[in-house]
Amino acid sequence: MGRILSCPRCQKDDILRSHPQSAREHLASFIFVAPFRCLSCSHRFLASHLWLDHSTHPIDRREHLRIPVRLYLSFSGGKVRGEGTVLDLSMGGCIIKCGTQVHADDIFYLQLSLGDGELPLEVAAMVRSVSARGIAFKFLRAAQENKRLLAFVQAQTPDQPDKSSGKVGVAA
Ligand SMILES: [Zn+2]
């Protein structure tokens, strides 16, 4: 049995562990301190995750919710250029369908067309795997902090109670 956290604001213990988002939270992860979010009041706070009961406080999967999409994409890296369709998208990466040969660990600049009349979204990404389902890209860290990507992903996922509290809760 590990420790069970309760919310410093409302004292409930429906707490999910979050992924670090701000520089401060990334820094905290070096000393085994992670961000957590209360499901009852959406309060976000930092706490040690050592000896924690991980089945009681699982990682919040919704932060990396995959959204089914159909977006045109082109990419380039080195001598390789290609284009394809983004099938699913999250803040962590995307899966695309395309006929171009790529290899795991290749790094590309992706240009995603988010809509008519909008500039394409440019992100750097690494090929994580190639399978029959498509090419899985992992966005590099800078892309995960991309505001347009975040806005697009959040616009596709209604019912995200932590949309604003994430910023309020970590204010130092
Ligand atoms: Zn709470």
> Tens digit of pLDDT per residue, the chain (172 long)?
688 999 999 999 989 898 888 889 989 988 999 999 888 888 899 999 888 888 888 877 656 678 889 999 999 998 899 999 999 998 889 999 999 999 999 999 999 998 878 889 999 999 999 998 899 999 987 776 788 888 888 787 665 454 444 444 444 4
Residue 157 Cα, ligand 1 centroid: separation in angstroms? Answer: 23
Residue 89 Cα, ligand 1 centroid: separation in angstroms? Answer: 30
Residues 45 and 82 in one domain: no
pLDDT of residue 106: 94
Residue 92 Cα, ligand 1 centroid: separation in angstroms? Answer: 27
Select from 34, 63, 92 the last residue of a domain: 63
Cα distance between residue 7 and residue 163, in whole Å: 18
Residues 93 and 25 in one domain: no
Residue 62 Cα, ligand 1 centroid: separation in angstroms? Answer: 18
Residue 146 Cα, ligand 1 centroid: separation in angstroms? Answer: 28
What's the token pair of residue 21?
A: 């988002």
State which residues form the domain around 103: 67-156
CATH number of the domain that residue 151 is part of: 2.40.10.220
Residues 43 and 87 in one domain: no
Cα distance between residue 44 and residue 18, in whole Å: 9
Q: How many CB atoms lie within 10 A of CB 75?
A: 25
Residues 71 and 152 in one domain: yes
pLDDT of residue 141: 73
Confirm whether 172 is domain-assigned.
no
Confirm whether 17 is domain-assigned.
yes
Select from 37, 63, 89 the last residue of a domain: 63
Residue 13 Cα, ligand 1 centroid: separation in angstroms? Answer: 8
Residues 71 and 147 in one domain: yes
Residues 72 and 56 in one domain: no
Residue 37 Cα, ligand 1 centroid: separation in angstroms? Answer: 8
Confirm whether 122 is domain-assigned.
yes
Residue 19 Cα, ligand 1 centroid: separation in angstroms? Answer: 18
Residues 138 and 74 in one domain: yes
Residue 5 Cα, ligand 1 centroid: separation in angstroms? Answer: 11
Residues 136 and 72 in one domain: yes
Select from 40, 63, 86 the last residue of a domain: 63
Q: How many domains does the chain have?
A: 2
Cα distance between residue 54 and residue 25, in whole Å: 19
Residue 53 Cα, ligand 1 centroid: separation in angstroms? Answer: 18
Residue 39 Cα, ligand 1 centroid: separation in angstroms? Answer: 7
pLDDT tens column, 6-40: 999 999 998 989 888 888 998 998 899 999 988 88
